[in-house]
Amino acid sequence: MSRENGTARSMFVIALVCAIGAHAAGPEDLPFHLSSSIAPNVLRALENDKNTERYRLVSHLNPFYLHGGFNGDGRIDTALLVRHKEPGKVGIAIVHAGAKSAILVGGGRNFGNGGDDFRWMNAWHLFPRGSVSRGADETPPPTLKGDAIMVVKTESASALIYWNGKRYARYQQGD
């Protein structure tokens, strides 16, 4: 593929991902300048994944995506905020480096004791791989295989979303 065709394809992918959630204009729409910040390989994974057709990218938090080595393979993965079109539930789409699809956490998909909706979350950040202090309950803290995602309701609660080797799991940090 020529460089010109590659650029045209990237622009098409960006437009397609933004159009997936075509609806009345509102604060959750992802402006072109924001979608242009997402790597083309991540956008291609979202474009090719039939599971993400029911979701749209959202940017109500800053940052609206995170980079980290979430599955511990030494490569950089991307986590993006998404909203399910129908019930409007917020979740996280995680695209592992080299993956052709996303792993969806929340957004209408049950996530164990984490529920299926992250609308409560008003902050999130990368939690670098390392030791995890004991959380809000008596459950022993996990041993992280990679970086984790800290989801936060400021002045209320927080939890880690981490790869346990088979799937993403949740560990309650604060109440």
In which domain, by residue range, is 63 found?
A: 3-174
DSSP β-bridge partners for residue 78: 67, 95
- Alpha-carbon distance of 69 to 147, in angstroms, equals 5
58-104 pLDDT, tens per residue? 899 999 999 999 999 999 999 999 999 888 999 999 999 999 999 99
The confidence score (pLDDT) of residue 46 equals 84
CB-CB neighbours of 26 under 10 Å? 7
14-70 pLDDT, tens per residue? 443 444 443 322 223 467 888 888 888 888 888 888 888 888 888 999 999 999 999
% of residues, the chain, pLDDT over 90: 53
125-143 pLDDT, tens per residue? 999 999 999 988 888 999 9
C-beta of residue 101 within 8 angstroms of C-beta of residue 49:
yes
Q: What is the domain count for the chain? A: 1
